[in-house]
Amino acid sequence: MSPRSFVLVTGAAGTIGQPLLSTLASMPSIEGIVALGHVTPVVAREPSVRVVAGDVTQNEHLGLDPADAEAVSSRITAIIHAAANTRFDAPLSEARTANVDGTRHVIEFARRCPRLNRIVALSSTHVAGRRTGTILEDDLEHDAGFVNTYEATKYEAERELRAAMRDLPIAVARISTVLGDSCSGDIARRSAIHQAVRFMYASLAPMVPGDADSPVDFIALDHAVRAIAFLATDGFEAGATWHLGAGIDTVPFGELLDLTLQAFLQHRPSWRKRAIERPALVDLPTFELFCKSVDQLGDSTLRASTAVMSHFAPQLAFPKSFDDCRCREALVRGGVTRSPSRETWARMVKYVIQPENTDLEARILDFVRTSLLGGRAGPIDAGTYLFDEGLIDSLKILQLIAFIETEIGHTIPDADVVMENFRSVRTMAQRFTVRT
């Protein structure tokens, strides 16, 4: 990237976007950063970062007022498009609005930026959907289908990006499943994979689809951030698609389950008393039948956990590996190295199951905002009456109960599952916080 560049980062408050701001701000070649925030507040600690309120789903101005849109478009030299709806259970229309329409609007905005010399769009390795085998970085088109709306709409977004590469300097970084920090396991916002570990810890994942030998691909958050910062600057290559994942350091699924159990025993010795078996590995039809049976006959907590798992676990039944030759060569040139996958996984599990440092109210509020509502309900706080505002329905309350139970480490008695205890995030935290 040329000296003294200005970068627009969409999705700046996201899991990747927030730490990316700090990494970019520390780079001498970057003079300024415009951080586009929407619902979740963007934390800007560096003086070179300017936060603006916008929404990529609104229009080609990205939801900015005309004056801000003109000021930003006339100055920026690069765009990192990280905004997305990453919920696996999002309705197709909502996922398309964020992931496809949002990408179209960023492309349209880019065409009005006279100084622009690069766009890096963050995508997902799971645009491969239900394909199996080796997936090359240049591969895109297929008719294998998808497991969830996130995969489908990120695929559609990539098709928009491929078409726009004819007249815009665009590159695509397909990111694998993001865990936590490679050293601490810490992550600001937990995703489906973190929920799955908590469900396993709470004996709410008795079976999962897949084979013991199927490779599981994931990446540490800090490595993803460093890699994106390099690929968007000195490592940029217009027209490139990069697979940013584990490469050859994937972990067989069976071994991954064993590593998870070992971490439970090492960091929470009392877990041994539960005598919980490793989840059974089954084929996809068996798993789908299990989910259907639980939905019809199971208890509320198990029903909620299988509802979450059913939106992403079936991907494990379509084993694939992601060739990363182009990305690996670029990162070698930039001196960007990744930590060993097994160590990254073990640290993430330790972080997920250890007692929380933050209070229960903050954790429930973050879960409601990001997992249940996906940022689409506008700002809410701990005192918002969730039922009165029509924000929570019967399925969401089951998911909320399952989340709270895994957070507090025990089952909520049926007598406590009453409206008055779930009226707001604050009332939930007051009722269910474990007193010591």
- Pair (133, 176) in one structural domain: yes
Radius of gyration in angstroms for the set of CA atoms belonging to the chain, rounded to a whole number: 22
- Pair (364, 245) in one structural domain: no
Average pLDDT of 307-319?
92
- Identify the pLDDT of residue 112: 95
- Identify the pLDDT of residue 95: 96
- Identify the pLDDT of residue 409: 66
Tell me the sheet residues that pair with 118: 78
- Identify the pLDDT of residue 436: 42
Interior CA angle at 56 toward 391 and 142, to 5°? 95
Residue 353 lies in a domain: no
Residue 304 lies in a domain: no
- Pair (222, 366) in one structural domain: no
Lowest mean pLDDT across 5-19, 94-108, 412-426: 412-426
- Pair (50, 129) in one structural domain: yes
How many Å from the N-terminal Cα to the C-terminal Cα in the chain? 54
Res. 397 pLDDT band, cuts 50 70 90: confident
- Please give the C-alpha separations between residue 201 and each of 125, 178, 265, 352, in angstroms, as whole numbers: 27, 20, 10, 10
Q: Under a CB-based contact definition with an 8 Å cutoff, are residues 285 and 265 in contact?
A: no
- Identify the pLDDT of residue 297: 76
Residue 297 lies in a domain: no
Residue 239 lies in a domain: yes
- Identify the pLDDT of residue 356: 57
Mean pLDDT of the chain: 90
Picking from 274, 301, 335, the residue at the C-terminal end of a domain is 335
* pLDDT top residue among 275 and 146: 146
- Pair (131, 233) in one structural domain: yes
- Alpha-carbon span 147 to 316, nearest angstrom: 10
Looking up residue 379, the CATH number of its domain turns out to be: 1.10.1200.10
Q: Concatenate the DSSP letters of all residues of 285-299 into one string.
A: HHHHHHHHHHHHHS-
Looking up residue 241, the CATH number of its domain turns out to be: 3.40.50.720
- Pair (329, 379) in one structural domain: no
- Pair (162, 234) in one structural domain: yes
Is the model's pLDDT at 1 over the cut of 50? Answer: no
Count of structural domains within the chain? 2
- Identify the pLDDT of residue 435: 55
* pLDDT top residue among 268 and 138: 138
What are the tokens at 301? 């907590």
- Pair (143, 21) in one structural domain: yes
- Pair (121, 29) in one structural domain: yes
- Identify the pLDDT of residue 78: 97
For 85-107, what is each residue's pLDDT tens digit? 999 989 999 999 999 999 999 99
Residue 22 lies in a domain: yes
DSSP state of 210: S
- Please give the C-alpha separations between residue 383 and each of 39, 180, 365, 374, 423, in angstroms, as whole numbers: 17, 30, 10, 18, 9
- Pair (93, 170) in one structural domain: yes
Q: Under a CB-based contact definition with an 8 Å cutoff, are residues 20 and 9 in contact?
A: yes
Is the model's pLDDT at 313 over the cut of 70? Answer: yes
For 37-54, what is each residue's pLDDT tens digit? 887 788 888 899 999 999
Average pLDDT of 146-164?
98
- Identify the pLDDT of residue 374: 67
What are the tokens at 173? 């970084």
Consecutive H or E run containing 110: helix 102-110
Average pLDDT of 264-281?
80
- Identify the pLDDT of residue 143: 97
Residue 196 lies in a domain: no
Residue 198 lies in a domain: no
Residue 203 lies in a domain: no
Helix, strand, coil: what percent of the chain each, to 5?
45, 15, 40
- Pair (331, 394) in one structural domain: no
- Burial level of 125, CB count in 10 A (0-12/13-18/19+)? buried
Q: Which domain holds residue 380?
A: 360-432
For 209-239, what is each residue's pLDDT tens digit? 999 999 999 999 999 999 999 999 999 999 9
- Pair (324, 389) in one structural domain: no
What are the tokens at 374? 């996906």
What are the tokens at 358? 């933050």
